Amino acid sequence: MRILLAALAASTVLTGAAHADTTIYPLDRATILVNSKFDFKVELDKVHAENTVDVTVNGKPYAEVFGKPAEFVAEEKGKDDKVLGSALILRDLAIAAPGTYTVAVKAGDEAKSVTWDVYGTPATPRAKNIIFFLGDGMSVAHRTAARIMSKGMTEGKADGRLAMDDLDHMAFIGTSSTHSIATDSANTMSAYMTGHKSRVNALGVYADRTPASQDDPKVETIGEALRRTTTKSLGIVSTAELEDATPAALVAHTRKRADKADIVGMFYDVKPDVLLGGGSAYFLKSDIPGSKRKDDKDYIQLFRDAGYTLATDAAELTTAAGTNSGKILGLFHTGNMDTWLDRNQLHKGTVGKFPNQPGLVDMTKSALEQLSKNQDGFFLMVEGASVDKMSHPMDWDRAVEETIEFDQAVAAGLEFAKSNPDTLIVVTGDHTHGVSVIGTIDDEKPGDDMRAKVGVYDEAGFPNYVDANKDGFPDKIDVTRRLAIFSSNYPDYYETWRPKMDGPFEPAVKNENGEYVANEAYKDVPGAVLRIGNLPKDNDTAVHAVDDVVLQATGPGAEEFKGYMEQSDVYKVLADTFALGADKK
């Protein structure tokens, strides 16, 4: 007994040293590009006198290693002015020498240490250009469904291949966030574009404990790194609002992805050379109908004054891409752009209001045409945003057609790389959805019970989509024997077993108690069945899955993608490929 107690006491001493609520940012095991700017912050659990807080880096006083002292905050305040403890903040730190850095903090009975890996890169770039294709929420099922729907299948063999099927390097990517196994498009894309993991809803920052959304410890984004170390051009293309999490992750620093008006200002600070997408509402000053700003900042005019050619529809984009201004701001919608199916076949959604939106392929080609004029090369990010935006409401037909369109944008990138082989192409998702293709739904089967028309195993057979015009999309989506695609998770909703021909699916709506209930607009669709959800009732739509993402790549640098990688590790491959550790300006 005495021995046991002694052992317990010893282990308590060991574990007690690491105080749970003392936090150092960047977090333990952070990987940091050499010379990249980041904010160093220590959050102490209690209030301490400044002279009692001891911080060392590899055993030396921190200010000696970091080159400057941090600001000491005696009492950090939380909600309702609650005292959270003391803190140290050192903004815009950069470490010039690669290596292992162990930061140790002691204050009273609090102690914490973290170790960072500061990495360098080769001195010379391996590629001139990088095109980073991001299918938001793109999971294995989206790709399988896109291949079958677009190319067809005979006797178990695909009748054709997607562009992304021929990329020769691949890795499994872990998408989890710093505070949860689950994740969102903000922290996931931020990990790709900064090399640091973060918390759900956060972009370009570690999520600290204070309520303010823009005081959190920042990390450098790839947009900023390119501006700091290279003369390359930067392009961002998305079918979402440009302020949405994925495109924003190239430039933004905020704990709250919903800070969309401020994110426009962050784009303006970095000034990507080509910026194409939706979301003009946050560029318009507040007195213009359609604006979602609360101030009179006119970012349309500010970008124009900064030398940008403005395009607001497909025709203007073609004209702008042909100019030599070097800078294009393409804003094609006040909100998110419409899906391929709505733009090209059904004319639903908001297509009636914005009839001349360019597609993702046109935007990608225009961006490549403009960016490739820079002899020093470029970084282009292309997002197929509505793969995710249509997967949340379980509108699988739209989500799969978005995947086909995304794949056609990848094909345009591969075509560019054919004549520009010094181009690295990366194709990946940011997170997955709990979606699977399980067979077919055949209207020709007898009876009215739609459930009986679901074909599984040998009964599934093959769907009967037809692509007579060879555009890679089925000529009509509501064929009689179509793919059966289901989500592993859902709110209460009416399963209609059919494509949503009247506009994107809205499965659930909120009631006065804050709970999501099935949207009765679908109740009377022939064969509709109420499915009781398996998610908590405050979830409006299907959620992201924790499953790994499959990343594929080709071109110089692609061989670094292999096995299992954390999302933050992908940034190191991009940094290596462009030699961002070596200043080439």
Partner 1 sequence: MHRTRLNRRDCLTGLTALTALLPAHPALASPPEISFDELYASFSALGLKFSDKILTLTDQTIRIQGFMAPPLKAESQFFVLTQIPMALCPFCSSDSDWPDNIMVVYLDKRQTFTQPNQRIAVTGRLERGSWIDPETGFVSQLRLRDARYGLA
Which residues sit at the interface with partner 1, rule CB under 8 A? 184-185, 201, 241, 245, 256-258, 260, 278, 280-281, 284, 286-294, 300, 312-313, 331-336, 350, 353-354, 392-393, 506-512, 514, 517, 519-521, 538, 540-541
Is the CB of 180 or the CB of 286 nearer to partner 1?
Answer: 286
- Tell me the closest approach of the beta carbon of residue 264 to partner 1, in angstroms: 13
**3-state secondary structure at position 138:** coil
Amino acid at 363: M
Whole-number minimum distance, CB 99 to partner 1, in Å?
A: 38
Instruction: Tell the smallest beta-carbon distance from residue 517 to partner 1 (Å).
Output: 7
By beta-carbon proximity to partner 1, the closer residue of 262 and 566 is: 262
Identify the CA nearest to 378 among candidates 367, 365, 389.
367
3-state SS class at 119? strand
Angle between helices 314-322 and 360-371 (to 10 degrees): 20
Strands 454-455 and 435-442: antiparallel
C-beta of residue 77 within 8 angstroms of C-beta of residue 136: no
**Residues for the chain: how many in total?**
585
Token code pair at residue 392: 């949340």
The distance of closest approach from Cβ of residue 516 to partner 1 in the complex, given in angstroms and rounded to an integer, is 8
Nearer to partner 1 among residue 28 and residue 520 (C-beta): 520
- Output phi, psi for 474, to 5 deg: -60, 140
Q: Which residue lies nearer to partner 1 by CB, 402 or 576?
A: 402
Question: Between 322 and 355, whose beta carbon lies closer to partner 1?
Answer: 355
* Neighbouring residues of 74: CB distance < 8 A, sequence distance ≥ 6: 47, 50, 86
Distance between first and last Cα of the chain: 67
Q: Contact, 545 vs 432, CB < 8 A? A: yes
Q: Which is nearer to partner 1, 412 or 435 (CB)?
A: 435
Q: Extract the tokens encoding 99.
A: 């290596």
Tokens of 206: 């570690």
The active-site residue out of 36, 177, 185, 372 is 185
Residues in CB range of 329: below 8 A, 6 or more apart: 275, 300, 303, 304, 308, 309, 310, 311
| Radius of gyration for the chain, computed over Cα atoms and rounded to the nearest angstrom | 25
**Least separation, in Å, of the C-beta of 322 and partner 1?**
20
β-partners of residue 173 are: 549, 565
Of the pair 465, 493, the CB lying nearest partner 1 is at 493
- What residues pair up with 276 in beta bridges, in sequence order? 237, 330
Q: Which lies closer to partner 1 via its Cβ, residue 236 or residue 245?
A: 245
Q: Provide the minimum distance between the beta carbon of 549 and partner 1 in the complex, in angstroms, as a whole number.
A: 18
Neighbours of 67 (CB within 10 A): 12
Cα gap 335→153, rounded to integer Å = 37
Look up 177 and say whether it is catalytic: no
Shortest reach from residue 51's CB to partner 1, in Å: 41
Judged by beta carbon, residue 45 or residue 492, the one nearer partner 1 is 492
Which residues 6+ apart lie within 8 Å of 60 measured at CB? none
Query: Around 121, how many Cα atoms within 13 Å sit in the side-chain half-sphere?
Result: 27
Q: Nearer Cβ to partner 1, position 142 or 256?
A: 256
Beta strand ranges found along 66-156 (DSSP E): 71-77, 83-93, 99-107, 110-119, 129-135, 153-154
CA distances from 22 to 16, 46, 92, 101, 112 (A): 12, 9, 22, 18, 6
Cα 491 to Cα 508: distance, rounded to the nearest angstrom: 7
Q: Which amino acid is at 389?
A: K
To the nearest whole angstrom, how small is the minimum distance from the Cβ of residue 245 to partner 1? 8
Measured CA to CA, the distance from residue 406 to residue 134 in angstroms comes to 9
**Least CB distance to partner 1 at residue 201 (A):** 6
**Contact call for residues 284 and 242 (beta carbons, < 8 A):** no
Minimum CB distance to partner 1, residue 313 (Å)? 8
The answer to whether the CB of 393 falls within 8 A of the CB of 507 is yes
Which positions are catalytic?
185
